[in-house]
Chains A and B, each alone.
Chain A
Amino acid sequence: MSTALVGGRPAAAPRGRVTQANVVRSEWTKLVTLRSTRWSLLAAFIAMTGLGILIAAAQMNRWTHLEPHERATYDSINTAVGGYNLAQLAIGVLGVMVISGEYSTGMIRSSFMAAPKRLPVLWAKIGVFATVTLVLMLVASFISFFVTQAIVTSHHQQHSLGDPHALRTVVGAALFLTVLGILATSIGALVRNTAGGIAFFVFLLFVLPGITAILPAATGDAINPYLPLTAGTAIATSTFENSHHLAPWTGFLVFCGYTAVALVAAAIGMLRRDA
């Protein structure tokens, strides 16, 4: 053992230093070498492609049994991107875990020993995860759109990408899920604990709307458009059920604003707190 060590000193080997690009490479390896990541991403991909297609097929099957007003307001673009309702859970949970998993296992100490400035780790982690999410969810969203349109042709409900809101909604679903992932990772970095992070994420995204629903209607309708989930999903919606919502890009910007606040808080916490 010791002889190998003595002989094993590559004194002449070039010595690299820590750069943002190197840390990105490292974070890519970290992301793809965990089983939980692969399963979560697969689940999100299947949800985003499959759910809309399944529902479209079911609706076409029982088209004649639908209420007339349901048929009149049927929007096959909304149906196509409906998979985000399921995918958001997988992306959110994974987003929390990519960072909380490091805190719970102690891995974060190795990460910070290798990149002691710390913030490059956060940027790389979020950059890699967001890029992977965006690419996968874009592909999934387009697949779902085209297959759904092919299915709804049977009752002439099809849209093309050139139709109003179609492209914005299909791309918007992927954008929403990507920013949702960044928000989840920021929450994970703040809370530093998987169970706590997921609980906080679920509270912010899915519990708050339930609370506004039991408020007096006027108050609820005033608050609701600005809730993270309502604001964020505006961009992934083609036609809206009611008028209490922000314009798609405005809503998306508000959602990005929440995410930016969480991200800045996460970055400050990461710099200041002991690992």
Chain B
Amino acid sequence: MIIVDHITKRYGEKVAVDDLTFTVQPGIVTGFLGPNGAGKSTTMRMILGLDAPSSGSVTVNGKAYRNLQAPLHEIGAMLEARAIHTGRSAYHHLLAMAQTHAIPRSRVDEVIDLVGLDAVARKRVGGFSLGMGQRLGIASALLGDPNTVILDEPANGLDPEGILWIRNLLKGLAADGRTVFLSSHLMSEIALTAEHLVVVGRGRLIADTSVADIVAQASQNRAVRVRTPDGTQLRDALIAEGATVTTTTRGLLEVHGVESHRIGEIAMEQRLVLHELTPQQASLEDAFMALTGDSVEYHAAGLDRLPTELEQIS
């Protein structure tokens, strides 16, 4: 369990992280979401004891990271910025990391095999592609077989095959019952694996909620698109039914507040022709954009704030 308690990080005048408080619950995947520059990486570095908070505190399994006796066995991390010497081979990098905890060489071979780097393990890291670098970063994170794994933008810059690999890996970690804390600026990527979400913008907490809640909220307010040559009549009939209708182009209606099957029934009752009747997919990406968009005045808020913001976009 990771407890982030009112941490603030200032770099001179700039406040990178502003009074951030949240808990990463054990045994589930928690997504850490926010646009680039929201303070995600800084927060992760503070969790890992690399950067000291200007105020506030962070504990990992009840202790400050610096006081962990065997940190690699408790928490494994892959940072977005590479943290590997480019002149050393992947094998020797992992070996040097392993030796700090007296982790046997067999485990080094195991994680190399696990991330599929066998063929290049003896080559210098400087020549690695982005994808190979990410795999090596994940191998480092898993080296000590920790119960908690922190991954900063693991899918960043990966090709589709690499992204699929990361997804499967995350599912595997989750299936193991490990605690995973995963940052991304892409809602769609996080929603595939995370159960819980911590959303930040400009260093502040925007939401601390479950993915199910966000999906439910987004779905509740989804629109139905209707294309009809009898736009005016249908609109009046729907409004009479209590719907909100917006018309952008002639013959195209965006309907809120009435389900698609009911719209079809109303059209039939009125003997109106429908050319299209499409329930709109609730877009998590839109929900995320609304949460973090520049227009939003940020205040630390819990669940209660979410619905209103989601309504704005749907």
Contacts and interface: CB of A to CB of B under 8 A. Distances in A.
A19 B103 CA distance: 12
A116 B71 contact: yes
B84 A275 contact: no
Sort A-B residue pairs by CB-CB distance and give the 8 closest, nearest first.
Answer: A2-B172, A16-B102, A33-B92, A109-B83, A17-B70, A26-B99, A107-B85, A274-B51
Contacts of A101: 85, 87
A107 B73 CA distance: 19
Contacts of B227: none
Given A9-B145, A18-B100, A105-B82, A33 B172 contact: no
Interface in A109-166: 109-110, 112-117
A239 interface: no
A259 B85 CA distance: 27
Contact of A274 (B45, B96, B101, B110): B45
Interface in B6-23: none
B95 A18 contact: no
Contacts of B49: 112-113, 116
Contacts, number: 140
A34 B125 CA distance: 11
Interface residues of A, number: 42
Contacts of A2: 168-169, 171-173, 175
Contacts of B79: 106, 109
- Residue in A34, A108, A116, A117 with the greatest tally of chain B CB atoms within 10 Å: A116
Given A8-B110, A105-B84, A106-B82, A114 B172 contact: no
B172 A117 contact: no
A110 B175 contact: no
Contacts of A115: 100
Interface in A232-275: 274-275
B70 A15 contact: yes
Given A1-B165, A34-B87, A274 B70 contact: no
B50 interface: yes
Nearest to B107: A10
A22 B71 contact: no
Contacts of B87: 34-36, 101, 105
Interface string B62-75: 00011111111100
Interface string B45-62: 100111110000000000
A127 to B, nearest CB: 15
Given A110-B83, A113-B77, A22 B101 contact: yes
B289 interface: no
Interface string A209-231: 00000000000000000000000
A196 to B, nearest CB: 18
B311 interface: no
